[in-house]
Amino acid sequence: MNKVNNIESLLSEVSIENNIEIVDVQYIKENGDWVLRIFIDKDSGVTMSDCEKFSYIFNEILDKSNILQESYILEVSSPGLNRVLKQEKSFKRFIGSKVRIQTHISINNQKNFLGPLLSFNNGIVTINDVTNGVVNINFSDIKKANLETEI
């Protein structure tokens, strides 16, 4: 299990208790500093106050755990308009929304898909792709998926 998975597991209980979804966790080195980004969401949307509150809560838990030995910068924020879709429940929540999906393998000679998310059933994501029409994609074959917001 890598650090990101360990962090997600460590913080999952407190997020569930507080009805907060951890959408994504990133742990990357930027300009010589380690940065831990935790993107959170909830049904009514995330406020600045939520980000501040969970920054404090997550920081306390992480400090006590010693998962991260090096110093790091913690950033807690909303997932934004083009939020990442990583969990089955996120795909189900955003049925009808426009999504961009990149796969590990080619499907109909294509690895990038864009269009409305039609369904998520039994581990299969169905999208109405702008190029190939209706395409079924195994959840396990998805490399990256995001909402695609038109502005």
pLDDT digits (tens, 9 = 90+) for 10-41: 999 999 999 999 999 999 999 999 999 999 99
CATH number for the domain harbouring residue 92: 2.30.30.180
The SS3 assignment for 134 reads strand
Least confident of 35-39, 66-70, 108-112: 66-70
pLDDT at 63: 92
Which two three-digit tokens encode residue 8? 């997600």
**Mean predicted confidence (pLDDT) in 91-105:** 95
Which two three-digit tokens encode residue 135? 């395409």
Same domain membership, residue 72 and residue 8 = yes
Is residue 82 assigned to a domain?
Answer: no
pLDDT at 1: 55
Number of domains the chain contains: 2
Q: Is the pLDDT of residue 149 over 90?
A: no
Residue 41: other Cβ atoms inside 10 A: 19
Cβ atoms of 42 and 20 within 8 Å: the answer is yes
Query: Distance (Å, rounded) from C-alpha 31 to C-alpha 29?
Result: 7
Least confident of 8-12, 80-84, 132-136: 80-84
CATH number for the domain harbouring residue 50: 3.30.300.70
CA geometry: angle 140, 110, 2, nearest 5 deg? 35
Is residue 83 assigned to a domain?
Answer: no
pLDDT at 66: 85
Q: Is the pLDDT of residue 151 over 70?
A: no
Same domain membership, residue 66 and residue 10 = yes
Same domain membership, residue 135 and residue 69 = no
Same domain membership, residue 95 and residue 131 = yes
Which two three-digit tokens encode residue 68? 């991260």
Show the domain range for 97. Answer: 88-147
In angstroms, the Cα distances linking 78 to 23, 53, 118 are 9, 13, 25
Query: Distance (Å, rounded) from C-alpha 33 to C-alpha 20?
Result: 27
Query: Distance (Å, rounded) from C-alpha 101 to C-alpha 148?
Result: 10
On the 0-12 / 13-18 / 19+ scale of CB atoms within 10 A, 11 is buried
Among 52, 77, 102, which residue terminates a domain? 77
